[in-house]
Chain A
Amino acid sequence: MTFFNFIVYVVIGVSAVLSYFVLANWAHDYLVGKFSKKNLQDSIFRPWIFMAPALIILLVYLIYPVSETIRLSFFDNYGREFTGVSNYVWALNDSDFRQSILNNFLWLIVVPTTCTFLGLTIATLADRVWWGVFAKTLIFMPMAISFVGASVIWKFVYEYRGAGNDQIGILNAIIVYFGGHPHAWIAIPFWNNFFLMVIMIWIQTGLAMVIFSAALRAIPEETLEAARIDGASEVRIFFYIIIPFLSETIVVIWTTITILVLKVFDIVLAMTNGQWGTEVLANLMFDWMFRGGGDSGRGSTIALFIMLGVIPIMIWNLRRFKMEQER
């Protein structure tokens, strides 16, 4: 792959898609135009020409796979023989799987809470200082970085050298400077989960902060002004006016980060690959996809447990969508 090949690939790929729409509509106009001009405006075929690629791709890449994954979870490792619920029985008795469920719960409790709390705190603080925009840019920056890149950054922060050596990881260096003992942070069972979560929090707090910033600006100035004239303290205003006003924003941020955390994969793979008790569902599933030639039954079963986590959010979304339609 050279740079020239890259250009050729891009041009071919994009023009293939574009030419479908141009040619299909041209053919449509030509054929339908033969019969009537009126039909050209309200043709019953046109919507399907517009929708076809999207529908086909959604069908092939999402709808079919979802049903197929459900089916495969009841089959053996090659997806050939029906094995009933044996994959589920295996999962519930497997120590790695149990560990993953526990860890995913831990992530789900800690990460969205911390991100929401920090995001709101930073957005509020940044509104009060003249260099707030600059501060927000710096805190938001990790959002642009890949999870793997972020993992390298933090692995370097956590880097451990035996006691007595110069520490090159800043966390251990600080601890040694204050007279403590250096630790191999990502190998300490249970607590290492939190050191991995720090990476996710470091990335996602920026998102929470930006959304809160936008929402804070939407609070009517008169309401705040009126409260201040009535003598309410800033703390009271924060808890009795701002927080209620932001309740919907908080839910939005919470669900967005929850969906992300359910799928957490890159960080665990890059930092520990599930060792030292840090396994999570997405990494375990990836492992089973390829372990011993791949076990589609077990892999699918694990994927379904991730799916289980998003179903409440899906239903909630649908209800909101319905309410919007009726409005």
Chain B
Amino acid sequence: MKHLSFGKFLAHFFLLIIVFIWVIPTFGLLISSLRDKDQVALTGWWTALKHNEFNEIVRTEKSTVQFEENGVFVITGNLLKNSSSKSVINFGITSKNPKAFKAPSKVTMKNGSTFYLQKDGSYRWTSDKAFKHKKGKRIFLTVNTPPSLTLENYKEVLVFRGLGQSFINSLTVAVPSTIIPLIIGAFAAYALSWMNFYGRDLIFATIVCLLVVPLQMSLIPILTVYNQIGSFFGVSAKSYVGIWLAHTGFGLPLKIFLLRNFIKSLPHEMFEAARVDGASHYQIFMKIILPLSIPAFASIGILQFLWVWNDLLVALVFLDKMPSEIVLTSRLREMLGEFSQNWEILTTSAFVSMIVPLFVFLSLQRYFIRGLVAGSVKG
């Protein structure tokens, strides 16, 4: 008995470690997308909920803002720009010793003036003689920055980096590319399972072969055809209709295969009864098969939708890179080059591209898994 409970403990322990490893990368992405961009560049995301110390170099006000008070010249201001959440830990007046003093404290400058800096960044600089400096004096600060989470990055990428547009483009590609193969596939699957016609088995065997044909085999010839059609009619070779049909073509064998398996598994008696009543195949399909197939459509549709939404290769080949056509995955890939060091932009963009799949996954997980399991059993 003791042996068994130790095994149980090990199961908990190992699974916990695996889950932890699996979740950490995504979690880091999510946290980073919500952090201030300066902080993302300087510290690890796991410090997001800690207070961090940053070194900053700031300048005081120019001498033009000085005023006289009881015979003393005074400049006041705030080095932290009144950011209420930050506070000064140390400061210095030379680059040699940037952490010379602890805030708050009073420091005598070289020219005899007195500089008094408080923790909140406000300062009072007094002198017997009038200030003459043109540029503000440099002050070195060590600033304590509290954790702050913001949606600023999301606004940045959606509005200013064109991701909002790409989001709609992705939808425009994915929705028809999901529905069209389902409709075409359902009719074909019905014919292949319940109708008799010459060459049926050969066609189905061909579809079984096409299931595993890599889409790389299709890219060059279809691109050539598209270019020829484009130049013949004087239109762009890259269009939404073009990519819908391409996705339909690449997804169709699996859609037909899965739908046929499903339709064939429906009870034959029901079908016979409708025949005896004089219903044509078209009526049987529309009135009986279609309503019964809704769950299968859901599973297979989700599978296709996620595949199209997440696809990069087909979009790169058959769609333009201009703002009105570029899809999320394609834009994200561009950004990896463009903003290779701006992790706040990359993490946020990646998360934007994941929102729809994650939502679909979490809300329709059961259908998704059913489709995947059925889809892989094809071998």
Contacts and interface: CB of A to CB of B under 8 A. Distances in A.
B46 interface: yes
Interface stretch (B93-101, B147-155, B310-318): B310-318
Contacts of B184: 17, 53-54, 57
B211 interface: yes
Nearest to B184: A53
Contact of B353 (A121, A139, A146, A286): A146
A173 B44 contact: yes
B165 interface: yes
A122 B15 contact: yes
Helix, strand, loop or mixed for chain B's interface?
Answer: helix
A9 B243 CA distance: 13
B221 A65 contact: yes
B252 A54 contact: yes
B354 A145 contact: yes
B379 A263 contact: no
A255 B11 CA distance: 28
- Output the residue of B197, B347, B369 with the most chain A CB within 10 A: B369
Interface stretch (B84-92, B107-115, B127-135, B167-175): B167-175
B304 interface: no
A69 B221 contact: yes
Interface residues of A, number: 115
Interface residues of B, number: 121
A122 B329 contact: no
B22 A138 contact: yes
A72 B168 contact: no
- Report the 7 A-B pairs with minimum CB-CB distance, sorted nearest first: A61-B249, A146-B310, A54-B188, A144-B361, A68-B221, A47-B197, A65-B218
Interface of B: 7-8, 11-12, 14-15, 18-19, 22-26, 28-29, 32, 40-46, 165, 168-169, 171-172, 175-176, 179-180, 183-185, 187-188, 190-192, 195-197, 200-201, 203-225, 240-241, 244-246, 248-250, 252-253, 256, 275, 278-282, 285, 306, 309-313, 316-317, 324-325, 328-329, 332-333, 336, 343, 346-347, 349-350, 353-354, 357-358, 360-361, 365, 368-369, 372-373, 376-379
Interface of A: 1-3, 5-6, 9-10, 13-14, 17-18, 21, 25, 28-29, 40-41, 43-44, 46-48, 50-51, 53-55, 57-58, 60-66, 68-69, 72, 79, 118, 121-122, 125-126, 128-129, 132, 135, 137-149, 151-157, 159, 166-170, 173, 202, 207, 210-211, 214, 234, 251-253, 255-256, 259, 262-263, 265-266, 269-270, 282, 285-286, 289, 296, 299-300, 302-304, 306-307, 310, 313-314, 316-318, 320-321, 325
